[in-house]
Amino acid sequence: MLGPKSEIAIGKYGSQIPKVFLPYISKIKDVKPDGHYGFRSVAVGLAQKQGKYMSIWRQLLLEMRRNEGIWRQVFDPENVGQYDELYNRIYFGGVGREGPKNYMLIVHTLHIRGSNTIFPLLGGPDDAEEPHQVVVVVFVDSGHFIYVTLEGSYPMPPTNLIWNSK
């Protein structure tokens, strides 16, 4: 059952969350709307303080650099330069050395116009040192993410189309 703050957030964002997921939401956390909200939402989903978003950002950039060839195959075949555009949009300053974390992160992105599930590009559950984690973010207000916790046997959003294109 949702607490008072969660109910307020549901009320504020309820019309922007697909109705099928509303009964499964046990927690909702709005994050600071400073342009880093996607990374902040993932940090909260990983049970970190939203101020730890830079660690998430560094890990994403490290993954994109370490496996650039594979990511280019995902993004560039139909739109040459899409990888560079995405990388440059994410990279907005210097990057420190961050040790790689070896876990399997599954991300559900929910949106009133369509939701999806994103699995890691490389490896799988057998390659992870820790059990997989699921993070659920909701795209709201045409440019902001919030974090939600889904519980119970919620319907899994369909797999992102990238996984079906190869």
Q: Is the pTM of this model over 0.85?
A: no
Number of other CB atoms surrounding residue 141 within 10 Å = 12
Q: Which fold has domain 4-164?
A: Cathepsin B; Chain A (3.90.70)
Neighbouring C-alpha atoms within 13 Å toward the C-beta of 82: 10
Q: Residues of the chain whose pLDDT is less than 50?
A: 1, 4-5, 94-103, 166
- What is the Cα–Cα distance from 101 to 99, expressed in whole angstroms? 6
Q: Is 110 within 8 Å of 157 (Cβ atoms)? A: yes
Give me the pLDDT at residue 96, please. Answer: 35
Give me the pLDDT at residue 95, please. Answer: 36
Q: Is 127 within 8 Å of 153 (Cβ atoms)? A: no
DSSP string, 92-116: -S-----PPP---EEEEEE-TT--E
Q: Which amino acid is at 79?
A: N
